Amino acid sequence: MKIITWNVNGLRSHLKEEKGTWKWIKEQKPDVICLQELKSKPEQLTDAQMGTFKGYTVVWNPAEKPGYSGVATMVAKKTKEDIIGFGLPKFDKEGRVIQTRFDDFVLLNVYFPSGTTGMVRVKFKLEFYEALLKHIKKLQKTGEQIVLTGDFNTAHNEIDLARPKQNQKTSGFMPEERAMLSRYFDEAGLVDTFRALNPDKVQYTWWTQRFPTARANNLGWRLDYFLVSKDFFKKVKTVTIFDQVKGSDHCPVMLELK
């Protein structure tokens, strides 16, 4: 099984043929596609645009606020269950979570909040992290194996961003954010699949658009992850960061399961 995750930073722009986004995705032949930051609702797409997703069943979770957030999960085969959100209106109205149950695991496609607009949003981000961790631990108590993917908006360690020293007080690498992400490993026993397979590899999934040369100079951050339950890690074959694929400020990442 192949699962692609990608923060597309606006879905409708990717449906223009000149970007070649869907041509690239189809060439990978993924079984599941997890998209974040759609910034649109399905009713805003034309019939032709919706036809792009032919061959996939699409579950949408757009934000209530227009032009903001939103996630979608596209699956080639039938799933056991699809759940929008995770039961907390405070977070669910922002369109951040879709849960998909397969035979042997639960996939969570998540767009974690950003804290870059100020400390109010950093607090909201940490509350979201806390609530989702609690939810995942509940799923684990029922025996579920977890695959958690998406844009986490946090670089975990210094190896995960180009300029760690200069960003200690920048949201996305603040100590409290990194500590919260650590709890997903320590308390829920999740494994960062890319880092487990590539302990010393320096590779990023996001580059700021504030500085036009950031991507060309590879001044990036690794913000997009696949975390899996410890017992499920044995099923992981590869994790690939496609940092040469453009079209967004993020690049796609693919998990291949045995």
* Residues carrying an active site annotation: 151
DSSP 7: E
Q: 228-246 burial, b if ≥16 CB within 10 A, otherwise e? A: bbeebbebbeebbbebebe
Distance (Å, whole) CA 167 – CA 150: 22
Q: Which residue, 115, 48, 102, 46, is CA-closest to 73?
A: 102
Adjacent-strand bridge partners of 107 = 100, 147
What 3-state DSSP class applies to 205? coil
What 3-state DSSP class applies to 44? helix
Distance (Å, whole) CA 141 – CA 138: 5
The amino acid present at 32, given as its one-letter code, is V
Distance (Å, whole) CA 183 – CA 177: 10
- Report the phi/psi class of residue 118: left, alpha or beta, with left for phi > 0 and alpha for psi in -120 to 50: left
